Amino acid sequence: MLTSEEQKIAQLLGDAWNLYFTLPVEHPMGRDEFCRAIHHCQNMVLARPAIRALASKGQGYK
């Protein structure tokens, strides 16, 4: 389960995308690259509960 801080980060990443999407296009790949970067960050945040679950079973990091 996501912590409240992780939920906040995930929401802020979504908010950042929504705001970026309102900007005028200055390069044809700009939105795609920004979207990929946001998804990469979201994947890192959303993986944290799985990392904690594995650690609690003595697996993975920690």
Kindly report, residue by residue over 12-43, the tens digit of the pLDDT: 999 999 999 999 999 999 999 999 999 999 99
Local confidence band at 62 (pLDDT 50, 70, 90 cut-offs): low
* Residue 2: how many other CB atoms lie within 10 Å: 13
Contacts of 55 (CB under 8 A, 6+ apart): 61, 62
Domain boundaries, given as residue ranges, for the chain: 4-21+30-56
Contacts of 38 (CB under 8 A, 6+ apart): 13, 14, 16, 17
- What does the DSSP 8-state code read for residue 24? P
pTM: 0.87
